[in-house]
Structure 1
Amino acid sequence: MIRYAPLLVLLLTSSCAPVAQRPTPTALLQNHTITLSFKGPATSEDAEDNPFTDTRLLVTFTHKDSGETHTIRGFYAADGNAAETSADSGDIWQTRFAPPKLGDWSYSATLHTGPLIAIDDDPSAGEAYPLKNATSTFTVIPGPAYGPDFRDFGRLTVDRNTGYFRSQNSDTYFLKGGADSPENFLGYADFDGTYKHSLEFREGESRPTEGLHTYATHLGDWNEGDPSWQNGKGKGIIGALNYLASTGMNAVYFLTLNIDGDGKDVWPYRDHLDFTRFDCSKLDQWEIVFSHAQSLGILLHVVTQETENERLLDDGETETYRKLYYRELIARFAHHPAIVWNLGEENGPADFSPNGQTSAQQRTMASYLKTTDPYKNTVVIHTHSVDTQKDELLPPLLNHTPLDGLSFQVNEPTQVHDEIKKWIHLSREAGHRWLIAMDEIGPWQIGAAADVDDPDHDSLRHHVLWGSLMGGAAGVEWYFGAHQKGNDLDTEDWRSRANLWAQTRHALDFFETYLPYPQMQPADELTPAADDYCLALPGQIYAIYLPSNSEPPQLDLAKHSGSYTIHWFSPKNGGTLQTGDTPTINGPGLQPLGSPPSDKTSDWTILVRKTTP
């Protein structure tokens, strides 16, 4: 059974009549979400006085000892139980808060009404609506360590010195590995208000299917005690996440807006033509799925628009529609401790999408997201695939501090390692070291083929998986291509890439078990071979990826003396470290590393560690 941490829901009312309330627990858990419900004016999703634009709930949380405050915006929640009831009317507003500090907290809530007050940053703007029980206190205690749950791991942040994900609560680092497909993961039949508004597509896209996702093959992966809604809906998508987590994967990539894009089946709105009114029940159902993913240790990679939608809201500017959109996403989902905001897929002009956003518009988006999000969650942007497009579009973003990094796309697998090293170097030179993750591999038609067509994944493992990680990448997600079996739009079964998940887990395990990778740097110059990769903390530890054993491996220890042990690791099969025919070497200078323990035609990773001064 999947374990769930307690979720506090308090009902606060402005009515004079008594309303039943859940008893307030004496203590809550750090980073675990508190959902507060307040009774306000009765309204509906389609009311003339739009509750999404003309009403604003603000709740200020104050930590007693430090004086630290967090002002969290709320959202209209219909009847407060819309995931189950599909309600589109009611008088409940909610806010979600994940307390980051231990100790005593208090909160104070205000509800104001007025034209477009939802995007007004003046806390005194509008007319106040009286709230009863608008203040209270609670105490936060440490949560128990239950394995992968991000609420216990701590909020993910970007370590600016290393360019890797790190827990805000500790010095623990995190490498991601997971699914980039289907990008329309949320185009799911059991979500309210979800439909395809068109089957049109352009050349270069996956051909959309007529139906929505059901993930029927994953129904058997749903476990008793897992969440569902409305008498058993949601079991397919919950089961899919269970399966992904069971393979050791820890990230999932998905769009929240593809109205003019490939799938044309994902948006947060009540209607795909009205950008001012949101679908309360659908978004509450998304929240059930997101919360389950976090409990499994799966990072939420939220891609906020597809390339064809870049100018759909405010013609690319960050004005009324985009502000409403971002504020709704932040209010509902920013409390999750492992969430990445992606400004957009393939963002910026390209030959196939010339009407893209400008670099000024990209910077404004990043600034607005980072400023508005009270948790300052990670903000990245998805790149185009060709190196010349990156050279044209990315330099204006290099020193823009609200942008934490890149969601990297590369058309040619053999270029991954060098391109990642290049942009890490350029960002460091600009004084703002980017986090870069390898999130979409080309060519666009192929991506990562299913196991049935490419059971060994030798090229992907060499050039993309190990090529990116050995170049300093913060993780890898796998794109399934536009013309594959189970492609980027129609994938229903993540078991189709079981071998790829296993090989990805082997790589992550190696890095997390044996390497102080945040302290290491790419050092390919330390090995004479032209096609291997080297990651090094010189004089202490080295990792060398060999795509084959075509020539005897060597390592230049330079001036570093002492004794070093040599162990071998199988990137394809994983397992424990093995010993070859040369168990130790002594520095300084160029040293032969010997031969692998078996299968000299396969790829190997060599681990060289200092044992004596």
Structure 2
Amino acid sequence: MKYIFKVFLFFPLLSILFLQSCDDSEPISEKLDTTTVHIQWHTLTLSFKGPESSELAQENPFLNYRLSVEFKNEETQYTIRGFYAADGNASETSSDAGPIWKVRFTPDKIGTWSYSAKLFKGDSIALNDDPSSGELVSISNAKGNFQVTKSDKEGNDFRAHGRIEASNGYFKFTGTDKYWIKAGTNSPENLLAYIDFDDTYRIKAEAREGEAATSGEIHTYEPHLKDWKTGDPTWQNGKGKSLIGGINYLASKGMNAAYFLTLNILGDGKDVWPYVAPDDFTRFDVSKLDQWEILFEHMQSKGILLHMVIQETENETMLDGGDTGPLRQLYLYELIARFGHHNALIWNLGEENGLAPWVTTGAQTDAQRKATATFIKKNDPYLHPVVNHTLPTEELRATVLDSLLGFPHVDGISLQQDERKNAPEVVQDLKERSKNAGHEWLVTMDEIGMWFDGAKTDAEDPNHTTLRRYALWGTLLSGGAGVEWYFGAQHPHTDLTSEDWRQRDRLWEITYYAKTFFNTYLPYWEMHPEHSLINSKDAYCLSKKNEVYAIYLPNSKTYTIDLSSANGSFTVQWFNPLTGDQLQIGSVNKIDGGQIRSLGNPPKTETSAPDQDWVVLIKRSN
């Protein structure tokens, strides 16, 4: 079937095969056989010489060609889409033409693998998933073999651990019993509006009420130039250092996720898109996307998950009127082909997905939203988690979330919550409702309100008291799978204009302390919120009955816990959420089950402050 595209102008027209891993720019071998070695969980890039083409060729290489590569080993097989790559080195040359096509694949099994590549040509064949359709086009070295050995990485590098998946309401590394909790940055949402990416600029427009104001300038991230290290990636004689440095800084603070839009035409920033031009949705900017990939590879090596938000509320209906039609399919195919190989990636159906009263361009319907999620799950061979970012209030988001409850292709909710004191209650409610519907959601606290405040800078809010209480400890102890910090729209360093993550250095520290506590002391994926066990409506409790209890206390007063249904003895230790110090002993170091027990008083130390909040860890001792 031939598709006819009509692109609406919403604003004024503005042959050698090589095998390489993502941390090595030199070919490993020009001829693949069973002696060629690759590494588990590392990206394998295969390049093929095919027909000469260009981004603007009359025979559109993104639409009228389809590269499919089948990878097999003894246990499994994958069919992976490839993409047009111009001269094969576009990140360095900014080339828009050439005969090279590529595929990226991340092998999950050790042993012998084989591959077989086929390039097809035909009208709109990129939108046709029939493997036998189209005219077969000759490409170089279309078959080969290679060996995969065990990963040699360690630390936070995702290549040391494998692929992140959704599992019973939490993140987990596939094929293991190792869980992972998300903690990172939600801002700037236009992370990719960066001066060193080719053909990146801002379409000037008047800001609407309810968003951060922008200027004609895009990001430079100059304060983070000092964080770039020798050996880190760059492109084109030193470009990219400041953003790579920013990622280094976030990783150094223990953060492990970053949220960003890949398409904000018509949206708040109007400065991020993958296309050659912002009014033609059928042709992609090869060099820009290759430069994005350099950033993404570095993020993965530093343990930073890619929280990839595919649209925002103002452009939900820009492609195909909201349907998963030819334009949206082409967009998603390109994202999956180019970036789906990364081990830690979340597909987000859209920022503030749903009908927002401040948007005049319309919104996707329930059926359209589900169709997009279904398309991603069908075509992403790695089955990365799919989530949906919400509107800020229950009134606005209720109909969207009610429709998605129990839907198998949406794995979680990227929560926006305006009133922060209600965040723990909302997280717990969504967890319980999704579990009762038969498909338990990941619920992550990704945008805390109010919209004009968000997470203020350290200078304005030195210890981020309400964020720490409600959005961090409150949501995690209510079953949340992670947090990201939204910067707000009416304070310095906003969600659109921030250049310097150090402005919130203290916030990253406090977040790291919480993440470390959960990873060190709790089987949190086996625990459930039971706040009522504590004699205060202001406290939070996550429990694995009769084994372990984690309790957040908002101040240094004396509290009790109801252990009537527990038996045996339990140790009582205190954790300071302001300093992240080692566990300490308070006035009571052991309690027995069978009745209501006092937690005693917190320890008095040089690092504790009067009447501060505390976290109590209660663990079974026999």
Provide, for residues 223-270 of structure 1, a one-character-per-residue CA deviation record: whole Å limited to 9, x for no partner. Answer: 000000000000010000000000000000000000100110000000
Matched, 1:156 2:164: yes
Matched, 1:283 2:289: yes
Counterpart contact for 1:439–1:479, Cα < 8 Å: yes
Aligned match of 2:494: 487
2: CA distance between counterparts of 1:5 and 1:316? 35
Q: How does 1:314-463 map to 2 (within 5 A)?
A: 314-353=320-359, 355-463=362-470
Counterpart contact for 1:420–1:436, Cα < 8 Å: yes
Provide, for residues 56-112 of structure 1, a one-character-per-residue CA deviation record: whole Å limited to 9, x for no partner. Answer: 10000011x22x110000000000000000000000000000011111110000000
Provide, for residues 284-336 of structure 1, a one-character-per-residue CA deviation record: whole Å limited to 9, x for no partner. Answer: 00000000000000000000001101001001000010000000000000000
Aligned match of 2:232: 226
2: CA distance between counterparts of 1:252 and 1:159? 21
1: CA distance between counterparts of 2:440 and 2:146? 38
Report the Cα offset of residue 11 of structure 1.
10
Q: How does 1:108-147 map to 2 (within 5 A)?
A: 108-147=116-155
Q: Secondary structure at the residue paired with 1:394?
A: helix
1: CA distance between counterparts of 2:550 and 2:377? 36
Aligned match of 1:561: 567
Amino acid of the structure 1 residue aligned with 2:108? P
Q: How does 1:27-42 map to 2 (within 5 A)?
A: 27-42=37-52
Counterpart contact for 1:166–1:172, Cα < 8 Å: yes
Counterpart contact for 2:185–2:485, Cα < 8 Å: yes
Amino acid of the structure 2 residue aligned with 1:129? V
Q: How does 1:23-172 map to 2 (within 5 A)?
A: 26-63=36-73, 65-66=74-75, 68-160=76-168, 163-172=169-178
Name the Cα RMSD after superposition.
1.5
1: CA distance between counterparts of 2:236 and 2:290? 12
2: CA distance between counterparts of 1:9 and 1:376? 30
Report the Cα offset of residue 22 of structure 1.
8.8
Report the Cα offset of residue 169 of structure 1.
3.5
1:158–1:45 distance in 2 versus 1, CA, 3 Å: same
TM-score (norm 1): 0.95
Report the Cα offset of residue 153 of structure 1.
1.0
Provide, for residues 114-162 of structure 1, a one-character-per-residue CA deviation record: whole Å limited to 9, x for no partner. Answer: 11101111011111102232110011111124111101111000113xx
2: CA distance between counterparts of 1:353 and 1:575? 46
Matched, 1:498 2:494: no
2: CA distance between counterparts of 1:458 and 1:282? 40
Amino acid of the structure 1 residue aligned with 2:366? S
Amino acid of the structure 1 residue aligned with 2:521? Y
1: CA distance between counterparts of 2:387 and 2:216? 32
Counterpart contact for 1:83–1:285, Cα < 8 Å: yes
1: CA distance between counterparts of 2:278 and 2:570? 62
Counterpart contact for 1:557–1:590, Cα < 8 Å: yes
2: CA distance between counterparts of 1:590 and 1:9? 65
Amino acid of the structure 2 residue aligned with 1:256? T
1:194–1:5 distance in 2 versus 1, CA, 3 Å: closer
Counterpart contact for 1:544–1:607, Cα < 8 Å: yes
Report the Cα offset of residue 209 of structure 1.
2.0
Counterpart contact for 1:438–1:468, Cα < 8 Å: yes
Q: Secondary structure at the residue paired with 1:183?
A: coil
Q: Secondary structure at the residue paired with 1:264?
A: coil
Counterpart contact for 1:58–1:111, Cα < 8 Å: yes
1:145–1:82 distance in 2 versus 1, CA, 3 Å: closer
For structure 2, the residue ranges without an aligned partner over 5 or more in a row are 1-20
Provide, for residues 7-57 of structure 1, a one-character-per-residue CA deviation record: whole Å limited to 9, x for no partner. Answer: 587699xxxxxxx76999632111111100011110100011100000110
Aligned match of 2:270: 264
1:225–1:22 distance in 2 versus 1, CA, 3 Å: farther
Counterpart contact for 1:7–1:34, Cα < 8 Å: no
1:103–1:291 distance in 2 versus 1, CA, 3 Å: same
Amino acid of the structure 2 residue aligned with 1:265? D
Matched, 1:603 2:618: no
Matched, 1:215 2:221: yes
2: CA distance between counterparts of 1:294 and 1:158? 18
Aligned match of 2:6: none
Moved more, 498-507 or 382-391: 382-391
Aligned match of 1:203: 209
For structure 1, the residue ranges without an aligned partner over 5 or more in a row are 13-19
1: CA distance between counterparts of 2:419 and 2:230? 44
Q: Secondary structure at the residue paired with 1:577?
A: coil
2: CA distance between counterparts of 1:187 and 1:559? 55
2: CA distance between counterparts of 1:413 and 1:78? 48
Counterpart contact for 1:218–1:237, Cα < 8 Å: yes
1: CA distance between counterparts of 2:371 and 2:261? 20
Report the Cα offset of residue 200 of structure 1.
2.4
Aligned match of 1:15: none
Q: 1:254 aligns with which of 242, 256, 260?
A: 260
1:462–1:205 distance in 2 versus 1, CA, 3 Å: same
Q: Secondary structure at the residue paired with 1:112?
A: strand
Counterpart contact for 2:33–2:144, Cα < 8 Å: no
Q: Secondary structure at the residue paired with 1:578?
A: coil
Counterpart contact for 1:238–1:289, Cα < 8 Å: yes
1:462–1:191 distance in 2 versus 1, CA, 3 Å: same
Counterpart contact for 1:46–1:277, Cα < 8 Å: yes
Counterpart contact for 1:565–1:610, Cα < 8 Å: yes
- Sequence identity percentage: 50
Matched, 1:515 2:515: no
2: CA distance between counterparts of 1:229 and 1:529? 55
1: CA distance between counterparts of 2:529 and 2:554? 16
2: CA distance between counterparts of 1:340 and 1:496? 26
2: CA distance between counterparts of 1:54 and 1:9? 30
Amino acid of the structure 1 residue aligned with 2:129? D
Report the Cα offset of residue 456 of structure 1.
1.2
Amino acid of the structure 2 residue aligned with 1:52? F
Matched, 1:580 2:590: no
1: CA distance between counterparts of 2:23 and 2:184? 27
Provide, for residues 390-441 of structure 1, a one-character-per-residue CA deviation record: whole Å limited to 9, x for no partner. Answer: 2222111111101111100000000100000001000001000001110000
1:451–1:25 distance in 2 versus 1, CA, 3 Å: farther
Report the Cα offset of residue 549 of structure 1.
2.7
